[in-house]
Amino acid sequence: MAIAEWAKSRGVAISERIEETESGAEDARPKFRELWGRVRERKVGTIVVAELSRLSRRMRTLVDFLYDCVENDIIVISVREGWLEESLQNKLMRPVVVGMLSVLYELERTIISERTKSGLQRAKAQGKKVGRPRKIDEKALQQIIKMRNAGLSITEIARRLGVHRDTIYKNLKRNL
């Protein structure tokens, strides 16, 4: 939304839009890798992002990506960090700005991770259930045991319950 508003306010037409739902903390995102390949092949003119952290929150990845953009004369515009475009064009400022931003984003990622872990520990201490709910509840476990005692294979039980065989094995092992 921020990019569309930015483009509209400046009369810029966006020729292609790439949306990715995966976290910028992960480098192996297919659409990001595809974009980076196009940057290296000089098949991109300008990249507009809502904020730099959407590209990557890993210092090394962000620095490498931005340097590839600059070396291939690709303009990177961040709606949130509007001063970025000019800073990346200045050869003296470029390493300082890219390094500073990437360190800040990595720090932000670390802080978020620490807060998440702290919140999970607090929730556990308060007796709240944390994590993904189990696929097999107590009633289903009793069904598994009955089917197993009746001679059904693990594969057949898994098929009937609509879960993976490993889920059946894990629940049987946990409750034996």
> pLDDT by residue (tens digit) across 113-152?
999 999 999 999 999 988 877 778 888 888 888 998 999 9
Is 99 found in the same domain as 29?
yes
pLDDT digits (tens, 9 = 90+) for 5-22: 888 888 888 888 888 776
Q: What is the 3-state secondary structure (H, E, C) of 56-106?
A: CCCHHHHHHHHHHHHHCCCEEEECCCCCHHHHHHCCCCHHHHHHHHHHHHH
Is 149 found in the same domain as 81?
no
Determine the residue type at 82: G
Is 94 found in the same domain as 155?
no
Is 76 found in the same domain as 159?
no
Does residue 132 belong to any structural domain of this protein?
no
Does residue 130 belong to any structural domain of this protein?
no
Which residue do the tokens 């009633």 mark? Answer: 139
pLDDT attached to residue 41: 95
Does residue 117 belong to any structural domain of this protein?
yes
Close Cβ partners of 148 (under 8 Å, ≥ 6 residues apart): 154, 157, 172
pLDDT digits (tens, 9 = 90+) for 44-88: 988 999 888 888 877 778 888 988 888 888 888 888 887 777 777
Is 63 found in the same domain as 142?
no
Average pLDDT over residues 83-99: 77
Is 73 found in the same domain as 45?
yes
CATH number assigned to the domain comprising residue 10: 3.40.50.1390
Does residue 131 belong to any structural domain of this protein?
no
CA distances from 106 to 5, 75, 102, 115 (A): 28, 23, 6, 14
d(CA 2, CA 111): 25
Domain residues for the domain of 142 are 138-174
User: How many beta carbons lie within 10 A of that of residue 79, not counting itself?
Assistant: 17
